[in-house]
């Protein structure tokens, strides 16, 4: 199921979609699946499954720490696909968020085929641009997978037009310059970026900029089609590493707060 379906459903309800991220294999393979399913039950409309990578140059310390835990536990690309399969079975569109290196090593055509057979909706590729992504675009088109590329405040209007033309599913607007991470306040760069991107495409626009609570989610949902949250979810599990049950309860509470936020906007 394409992520566009979830965005359409949210729009029909007069709200933004809540997109939640967790790395596969964190804290363990089984617990990551349990955690993501809890996020789905508590209100996430789309799930991003992170593929842990050894050189996460665009990730902040929170997601780096989680990815390292997953790698130390032996998480491999096949485990990521297993996680996608388990989460997609809930009926929620499930995409993989990954740096390009692991996909290339796995084999681009093979990755697309295996992702599709696992029920995955598509791929978010933060370090791959459409003008250097011909092999992925062809493989994704062969299997009807979403192609989610990123636009940023530094993107020119021409770059935004080129990027959005290559997207399918939604467009990822990263409104924080620098690495990812939860922040105390939302960025004043996000609204103008969304407005510029809307001029170039009719696709839904999801915004990722360090949202960590329902009030921030409501603010972003006021102008974006989707609110993307990653570090805040990861932080909850890191903070409850010694008590998995408490971590799961806190994760549900955070998801419910964020889900209420996107409905308040």
Yes or no: say if 189 and 208 are a contact pair by the CB < 8 Å rule: no
Phi, psi of 164 (to 5 degrees): -65, -30
Phi, psi of 126 (to 5 degrees): -65, -30
Which one of the listed residues 8, 41, 48, 257 is annotated catalytic? 48
Which one of the listed residues 59, 146, 219, 225 is annotated catalytic? 59
Res 8 pLDDT > 80: yes
Question: Could you report the per-residue pLDDT of 50-76, keeping only the tens digit for each?
Answer: 999 766 556 667 778 887 878 788 889
Catalytic annotation on 184? Answer: no
Judged by average pLDDT, the poorest of 44-58, 127-141, 189-203, 224-238 is: 44-58
Question: Could you report the per-residue pLDDT of 185-223, keeping only the tens digit for each?
Answer: 445 788 999 999 999 999 999 999 889 999 999 999 999
| Pairing verdict, β 150-151 and 146-148 | unpaired
> What superfamily does domain 3-264 belong to in CATH?
Aldolase class I (3.20.20.70)
Catalytic annotation on 48? Answer: yes
Phi, psi of 49 (to 5 degrees): -95, 120
Yes or no: say if 99 and 51 are a contact pair by the CB < 8 Å rule: yes
Question: Could you report the per-residue pLDDT of 244-261, keeping only the tens digit for each?
Answer: 999 999 999 999 999 999
Res 17 pLDDT > 80: yes
């Amino acid at each position: 199921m394409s992520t566009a379906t979830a965005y359409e459903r949210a729009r029909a309800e007069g709200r933004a979609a809540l997109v939640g991220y967790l790395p596969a294999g964190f804290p363990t393979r089984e617990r990551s699946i349990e955690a993501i399913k809890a996020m789905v039950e508590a209100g996430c409309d789309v799930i991003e499954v992170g593929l842990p990578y050894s050189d996460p140059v665009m990730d902040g310390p929170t997601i780096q720490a989680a990815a390292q835990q997953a790698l130390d536990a032996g998480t491999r690309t096949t485990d990521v696909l297993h996680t996608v399969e388990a989460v997609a079975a809930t009926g929620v569109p499930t995409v993989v968020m990954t740096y390009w290196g692991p996909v290339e090593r796995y084999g681009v055509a093979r990755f697309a085929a295996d992702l599709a057979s696992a029920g995955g909706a598509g791929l978010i590729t933060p370090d791959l641009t459409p003008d250097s992504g011909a092999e992925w675009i062809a493989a994704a088109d062969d299997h009807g997978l979403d192609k989610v590329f990123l636009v940023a405040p530094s993107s020119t209007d021409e770059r935004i037009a080129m990027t959005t033309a290559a997207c399918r599913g939604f467009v990822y607007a990263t409104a924080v310059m620098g690495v990812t991470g939860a922040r105390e306040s939302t960025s004043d760069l996000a609204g103008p970026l969304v407005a510029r991107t809307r001029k170039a495409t009719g696709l839904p626009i999801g915004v990722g900029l360090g949202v960590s609570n329902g009030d921030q989610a409501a603010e972003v949902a006021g102008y974006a089609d989707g609110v993307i949250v990653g570090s805040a979810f990861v932080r909850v599990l890191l903070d409850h590493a010694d008590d998995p049950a408490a971590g799961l309860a806190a994760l549900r509470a955070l998801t419910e707060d964020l889900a209420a936020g996107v409905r308040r906007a």
